Amino acid sequence: MTLPKWLAVLVLASVAVTAQARTFEEIKKDGKIVIASEGAFPPFNYFQGPTLSGFEIDLANALAKRMGLQVEWRALSFDALLAGLRQDRWDMVIASFGITDERSKAVTFSSPEYCSGGIIVAKDPAIRASKDLAGKVVAVQTGTTYLENVKKLSSVKEVKNFPRDTDARSALANGRVDAWVTDKFVAKAALASNPGGMHMGEFVFVERIAPAVKKGNASLAKALDKALAEMMADGSYGALSQKYFGEDIRCR
Ligand code: LYS
């Protein structure tokens, strides 16, 4: 017996609509987890030649190994990463996403991989704290918590958006803006390699940063939590953090 065509179409359409994220058990069976990152946020995730590298890349590779999985990496622009989880284009995202209420409505975060915050970087030594941004032009990356929080400072003259955080950094380096708001550890690394008259001021806000999975994928989030807790307990997280930052950046 063959199905009428209209019924087959209906069945296929309902499969597409109800498509579920792969559970941890399904990923295990496949042996491979697909992880997406940005590759433009050193030292957390960046390209070293053709190779995705950085603290989050090493961390995710180590977590996957503990979970008995191989990793298939994808690199995409920051603003495409969470949407791709919803469309089941990858199983997990690790790209320094801060846990916010709004993002938590769209995706499920695992336990935090590190704690940090948005910090002010400027050339003018008088620009240090949020109040010093009054009347100033500030560069931030689009779609980030830096943008969200700088926009809340009503006295800021203009917030300039850039597709990549490294472009926001260049804008400050070239004197096109008065300040750059970025992650504290990104700022530290940028100043260490190329200070160019820039200094680091104070936090605008602090945040907890975590890997994300598709909304409601509890089995994968749980497996990640477990692997991360093990790495934090046995010293391997600490060693990795020391390697990249010279300190332990876990949340306390
Ligand atoms: N932590 C910030 C956020 O959650 C920046 C993420 C990384 C940007 N390349 O938006």
Separation of CA 76 and ligand 1 centre (Å): 14
Residues 6+ apart with CB under 8 A from 85: 21, 92, 93, 107, 212, 213, 214, 215
**Cα gap 131→134, rounded to integer Å:** 6
Q: Which strand ranges, in their side-by-side order, compose the sheet holding 212-214?
A: 70-75, 32-37, 92-93, 212-214, 107-109
pTM of the full predicted structure? 0.92
- Tell me the CA–centroid distance for residue 186 and ligand 1, in Å: 10
Q: Cβ contacts of residue 149 below 8 Å, gap of 6+?
A: 118, 181, 204, 205
Question: pLDDT tens digit string along 38-81?
Answer: 999 999 999 999 999 999 999 999 999 999 999 999 999 999 99
pLDDT value at position 8?
A: 60
The alpha carbon of 73 and the centre of ligand 1 are apart by a number of angstroms equal to: 19
pLDDT at residue 47, as a whole number: 98
- Band of the pLDDT at 5, cuts 50, 70, 90? low
Mean predicted confidence (pLDDT) in 185-203: 95
State the closest ligand 1 atom to the C-alpha of 95, by its place in the atom list counted from 1: 7
Distance 114 CA to ligand 1 centre (A): 12
Amino acid at 94: I
- Is the Cβ–Cβ distance between 182 and 78 less than 8 Å? no
Distance 95 CA to ligand 1 centre (A): 7
Ligand 1: nearest atom to the Cα of 78: 9
Q: Give the amino acid at 14.
A: S
Looking at ligand 1, which residue's alpha carbon is closest to its atom 7? 96
For 51, the 3-state DSSP assignment is: strand
Q: What residues line ligand 1, using a CB cutoff of 6 Å? A: 38, 41, 78, 95-98, 141, 144-145, 165, 183, 209
Distance in Å, CA 216 to ligand 1 centroid: 22
Residue nearest to atom 10 of ligand 1 (CA): 144
Q: What integer is the mean pLDDT of 136-150?
A: 98
Could you identify the atom of ligand 1 that is nearest to the CA of residue 40?
9
Judge whether residue 237 has pLDDT over 50: yes
pLDDT in tens, 83-124: 999 999 999 999 999 999 999 999 999 999 999 999 999 999
Q: Which tens digit of pLDDT belongs to each residue from 218-236?
A: 999 999 999 999 999 999 9
Identity of the amino acid at 48: Q
Is residue 18 over pLDDT 70?
no
Query: CA 250 to CA 198: how far, in whole Å?
Result: 27
Q: Is the pLDDT of residue 12 over 90?
A: no
Terminal CA-to-CA distance of the chain, rounded, Å? 63
Task: Say which residues have a Cβ less than 8 Å from residue 151's Cβ, sequence separation at least 6.
Answer: 159
Provide the pLDDT for residue 20: 77
Residue with tokens 């491979």: 32
Q: Confidence class of residue 15 from pLDDT cuts 50, 70 and 90?
A: very low
